[in-house]
Amino acid sequence: GEDVEQSLFLSVREGDSSVINCTYTDSSSTYLYWYKQEPGAGLQLLTYIFSNMDMKQDQRLTVLLNKKDKHLSLRIADTQTGDSAIYFCAEKVGGSYIPTFGRGTSLIVHP
């Protein structure tokens, strides 16, 4: 199976919260990242979390890490149409400078 797995699609109503989930397999992950890719654009780093943390909040974004279950989530509060994009989860394993990316979750925000 893939090292980093994400569901491919998520649809939410504007104003609701979005939760994008990610699972990974390597327990030696040091950092985990969330990137956002808008149509026709490159990947934009949204946030990252160190593996010894279990939560990180940055304005509307909340990252939760369950290291025991190897599960990472990104919660977007008050989701707006401008949040529609593909969200990539990535992990970096100790000793490697190349992160491993998931296939991305396409977030669709509808009125």
Partner 1 sequence: SAVISQKPSRDICQRGTSLTIQCQVDSQVTMMFWYRQQPGQSLTLIATANQGSEATYESGFVIDKFPISRPNLTFSTLTVSNMSPEDSSIYLCSVEKSQGNTDTQYFGPGTRLTVL
Q: For the chain, count helices (H), then strands (E).
A: 0, 11
Task: Note the Cα 20 to chain centre separation in Å.
Answer: 6
Query: Is position 1 an interface residue for partner 1 (rule: CB under 8 A)?
Result: no
Nearest approach, Cβ of residue 19 and partner 1 (Å): 20
Query: Scanning residues 45 to 84, which ones bind partner 1 (CB under 8 A)?
Result: 45, 48, 50
Shortest distance (Å) from residue 40 CB to partner 1: 8
Contact (Cβ atoms closer than 8 angstroms) between residue 105 and residue 87: yes
Residue listed under structure tokens 């919260």: 17
Distance of closest approach, residue 101 Cβ to partner 1, in angstroms: 5
Using CB under 8 A as the binding rule, whether residue 39 contacts partner 1 is answered as no
d(CA 7, CA 11): 11
Interatomic CA distance for residues 68 and 57, integer angstroms:
20
Residues near partner 1 (CB under 8 A) are 2, 4, 8, 30-31, 33, 35, 40-45, 48, 50, 88, 92, 97-99, 101-104
